[in-house]
Amino acid sequence: MSRRRRVYEGKAKILYEGPEPGTLVQYFKDDATAFNNEKRGTITGKGVLNNRISEHIMTHLNGMGVPTHFIRRLNMREQLVRQVEIIPLEVVVRNVAAGSIAKRLGMDEGTQLPRTLVEFYLKDDALNDPLVTEDHINAFNWAHPQEVEEIMGLAMRVNDFMVGLFAAIGIKLVDFKIEFGRLWENDQLRIVLADEISPDSCRLWDTKTNEKLDKDRFRRDMGGVSEAYQEVARRLGILPEGGPVDHKEPELVQ
Ligand code: TMP
C-alpha cells in the first residue's frame, strides 16, 4: 500500500489523506479511552465492529436524506469519508436519563425524559468538554444560529431513525453523541453528520433486561465489552464473517 499522510489522530480513530482531494480515510482503532483519557484500554475487535456499525447507520441515514460524510467502507477497519471542517461541538441527544444528566440533575438512571433533549458540549479536552448553551455557541461564534437550528433538526431526525432501528432488534436507545461538519458543495456550505455512530458513542440497553450493550461496560469496568459490541452487530445482522478480529496487522504506514 502506498504511503499515506496522517491528517489527524484521535483517541479511537485515525484520519489519513484520502485517494482524491476532499476525501479522507477513517481508520478505526481498538483503543478505548474514557473520562477524557484518564482511563485507557483496548477492546479487541472494537474497530472492526464500529466500522461496520457506523457504516450501517450512516448508509441508512444517507438513504433517507440526512447528509453524512460517509462515502463507503474500504476494508475491515477503514472507511472513505468526505473531508469536512468539524464544528467544535459534541451534540448529545437523550431519550432516557443516564450518565452525566442523571448525575447533574439528580435523576435515577433509566428515568424516561419528558421529551427528547438535545445538548451541546464544547469539544475541548483541556476544559473537559463543558456543557454550553446556544447563547454561548452564538456569542463565541462556534456555529452560526442557522447552523445550530439545522444541527438540532438533523439530530432529531437521526434520533427518530435510530430509536426505530434499535427498537426493532430489542434495544433501547438511551442517548448518543454525534458531531457535524461543514462541507462546501457547488458553492454552498452544507452541514453534514461526521465522525461515527457506534456503541462507543451511544448508550444501548437491552429492552427486556436493561443490560448495557455499549461503552459504559468499559467506563464502569463491567467486563464483556467486546461481547456487547458483537451482540449489537449480530442483532443488526452485520457481524463480520469469521468474527470481528482481523488476523493480520493493518497495512498501515505512518
Ligand atoms: P454523558 O452522559 O457522559 O454526557 O454521555 C452522553 C452520551 O454521549 C453517551 O451516549 C456517551 C456519549 N459520549 C461520547 O460519545 N463521548 C464523550 O466524550 C462523552 C462524554 C459522551
Task: Examine the domain organization and report whether 103 and 153 are in the same domain.
Answer: yes
Q: Is residue 253 part of a domain?
A: no
Place of cell 448525575: 103
Percent of the chain with pLDDT over 90: 92
Ligand 1 midpoint to CA 125 (Å): 13
How many Å apart are CA 30 and CA 47, to the nearest integer? Answer: 5
Residue 56 identity: H
Q: Is residue 217 part of a domain?
A: no
With a CB cutoff of 8 Å and minimum separation 6, the contacts of 55 are 70, 72, 73, 79
As for how many domains the chain has, the answer is: 2
Range of the domain at 69: 3-84+225-244
Q: Where are the alpha helices (DSSP H) in the chain?
A: 46-63, 99-105, 134-139, 145-167, 216-219, 225-236
Cell numbers at residue 119, please? 445538548
Q: What is the pLDDT of residues 123-162, one digit of tens each?
A: 999 999 999 999 999 999 999 999 999 999 999 999 999 9
Q: Domain holding 11: CATH number? A: 3.30.200.20
Q: What is the spatial order of strands in the sheet that 13-17 belongs to?
A: 6-9, 13-17, 23-28, 78-82, 70-73
One digit per residue, pLDDT tens: the chain, 254 residues? 557 999 999 999 999 999 999 999 999 999 999 999 999 999 999 999 999 999 999 999 999 999 999 999 999 999 999 999 999 999 999 999 999 999 999 999 999 999 999 999 999 999 999 999 999 999 999 999 999 999 999 999 999 999 999 999 999 999 999 999 999 999 999 999 999 999 999 999 999 999 999 999 999 999 999 999 999 999 999 998 888 888 555 555 44
Ligand 1 midpoint to CA 83 (Å): 24
Using an 8 Å Cβ cutoff, are 208 and 170 in contact? yes
Nearest CA to ligand 1 atom 15: 201
Identify the H or E element spanning 115: strand 112-122
Q: What is the pLDDT of residue 241?
A: 81
Residues whose beta carbon lies within 6 Å of some atom of ligand 1: 92, 98-101, 129, 175-177, 201-203
Task: Examine the domain organization and report whether 202 and 115 are in the same domain.
Answer: yes
Q: What is the pLDDT of residue 250?
A: 54
For residue 136, the 8-state DSSP code is: H
Q: What is the pTM of this model?
A: 0.95
